[in-house]
Amino acid sequence: VSATTMSRPRVLITRRDVPQKALDIINDKCEVDIWHESFPIPRDELLKKISGKDAILCCVTEKIDKDVLDAAGPNLKVIGTMSVGHDHLNLEEIKRRGIKVGYTPGILTDATAELTVALLLATSRRMFEAHTEILNGGWKKSVWSPLWMNGWGLLGSTVGIFGLGRIGQGVLRRLQGFGVKRFIYSGHFPRKEGEEMGAEYVSFDNLLAESDFIIVTCALNDETREIFDDKAFAKMKNSAIIVNTSRGGVIHQDALIKALKTKQIRAAGLDVMVPEPLPTDHELITLPNCTLIPHIGSAEATTREAMATLTATNIVAGLEGHPMPAALC
């Protein structure tokens, strides 16, 4: 091992399919240990491989908790997560140890907002159910029928957004061309962007009671964890459709399953759920009024490359003692 090799910081990358541009940024300055399989690094491998590293490039799938930080040891100075969400990081413990964290806000807003609208439409216009009808021969029987595969449009509706942050605003902006009658939102506080876009700030209870479509774009934290529970579903219209592209943990999943089965609400579209990946025999998959996609909100090629590049730049800046372009702490 040469002297130059020894002096270069050591970085663990938990995925092998990180875009090359990002790998080049890290490779240029650091010694890289990259997880070599196509699936995410298993927990026991993470605990082994992080030992002695100066930095880690991780994704939402890696829980960085006290055990991982202990396993890393005192060398760990920088965590770069390739995500805007950070509920997989124990920030309290990370801050206590003086470790810097970089993340990827902003650049995935458009991709995620776009996907949210796609999921909303796929759910309300029953696209996956309709596709299944083609596969299972249902179309041959129904041919074209006045009431077959009828969904529910946005025209004249009330759309409620829970969490009018960057992504929530992006969704609202995109839905403005759909003839929605009223946009309402709830969250911590009224936002000037809400007012600018003609959306009305309401209480959580009013959001539940008045929305035809509820779109969940909040962060997962102790205040929002399972906030959509039995009581919340009971306050919603029987015709309501809920769409979640934030985190599965915001919805009490058993309560949602009950609400979908009893027709307490009409339908749900989920990009996120608990657990991920969802087991193939999970009850959610059996519900025709539930549209599921596998956490692909930001899965858009240009966006993923930008996320990876920003994560790499954050890591190198953090290791060199420069301000990170997108620092969480």
Residues of the shown chain interacting with ligand DGY in the complex, contacts defined by CB under 6 A:
60, 83-85, 108, 297-298
Structure tokens at 215: 């779109």
Hey, CA dihedral for 135, 140, 146, 147, is it positive or negative?
negative
Q: Least CB distance from residue 219 to ligand DGY, whole Å?
A: 9
Compute the half-sphere exposure of residue 109: CA atoms within 13 Å on the CB side of its CA.
14
Q: Least CB distance from residue 85 to ligand DGY, whole Å?
A: 3
Partner residues linked to 215 by β-bridges: 161, 243
Q: Least CB distance from residue 303 to ligand DGY, whole Å?
A: 8
Q: Least CB distance from residue 297 to ligand DGY, whole Å?
A: 6
- Report the residue number, 50 or 308, with the smaller CB distance to ligand DGY: 308
Spatial separation of the C-alpha atoms in residues 51 and 29, rounded to whole Å: 19
Q: Residues 207, 184: contact at Cβ < 8 Å?
A: yes
- Report the residue number, 129 or 271, with the smaller CB distance to ligand DGY: 271
Q: Residues 11, 56: contact at Cβ < 8 Å?
A: yes
Spatial separation of the C-alpha atoms in residues 258 and 287, rounded to whole Å: 11
- Tokens 């130059």 locate to 4
- Report the residue number, 269 or 297, with the smaller CB distance to ligand DGY: 297
Spatial separation of the C-alpha atoms in residues 58 and 55, rounded to whole Å: 10
Q: Angle at CA 311, nearest 5°, toward 309 and 313? A: 70
Spatial separation of the C-alpha atoms in residues 172 and 152, rounded to whole Å: 18
- Report the residue number, 28 or 276, with the smaller CB distance to ligand DGY: 276
- Report the residue number, 23 or 167, with the smaller CB distance to ligand DGY: 167
Q: Least CB distance from residue 304 to ligand DGY, whole Å?
A: 8
- Report the residue number, 100 or 304, with the smaller CB distance to ligand DGY: 304
Q: Least CB distance from residue 113 to ligand DGY, whole Å?
A: 13
163 CB-near residues (< 8 Å, 6+ apart):
185, 187, 216, 217, 218, 219, 224, 246
Spatial separation of the C-alpha atoms in residues 8 and 277, rounded to whole Å: 36
The region that residue 143 occupies, defined by phi over 0 for left and psi between -120 and 50 for alpha, beta otherwise, is left
Structure tokens at 220: 């997962």
Q: Give catalytic status of residue 131 as yes or no.
A: no
Q: Which residue is nearest to ligand DGY (CB)?
A: 85
Spatial separation of the C-alpha atoms in residues 175 and 155, rounded to whole Å: 10
**Which is the catalytic residue, given 188, 252, 282, 295?**
295
Q: Which residues are catalytic?
A: 295
